[in-house]
Amino acid sequence: MEHLVQLYTADFKTQMLIPYFERGIQAGFPSPAADYMELAIDLNDTLIKNPSSTFIGRISGVSMIEIGIFDGSLAIIDKSQRVESGNIVVAWVDDGFTLKQFKKEKGKTYLIAFNNDFKPILIDESNYGIIWGKVTYIINETK
């Protein structure tokens, strides 16, 4: 099992406005997007709904690569949001954090990887697993 190796609290003391393309950027045919760059956006306001319960974690490992969560990705985790089956979560299992899909099935709770090299983890009293928070966003670096 792999674990989040670094957890951070978000800093809300400063505001950093970044130019924002209100009408979006086309992924197909080019558009004159610079003509619409009229606004600025603060990523704290956009990505973090509950500052006092939000953390950022750097992902270590490859168990979620099939859904675009890679070694080095950043996860924004909100401990206040309700977790439902199918959500991506951070859980504490066997004395460490792990990021997986939360799955409820036939009265049992599982953590599911998105890499065939990893088996589902049954959450029960043997591993003291608890769901720590819901992942609300993933941030990846492009190459």
Active-site residue list: 63, 100
φ/ψ of 106, rounded to 5, equals: 55, 45
Return the sign of the alpha-carbon dihedral for residues 104, 106, 108, 114: negative
Measure Cα distances from 31 to 8, 19, 35, 142 in Å.
37, 17, 9, 21
| 3-state SS string for 54-98 | EEEEECCCCCCHHHCCCCCCEEEEECCCCCCCCCEEEEEECCEEE
Structure tokens at 72: 């080095």
Q: Measured between alpha carbons, how far is 46 from 89 in angstroms, rounded to an integer?
A: 20
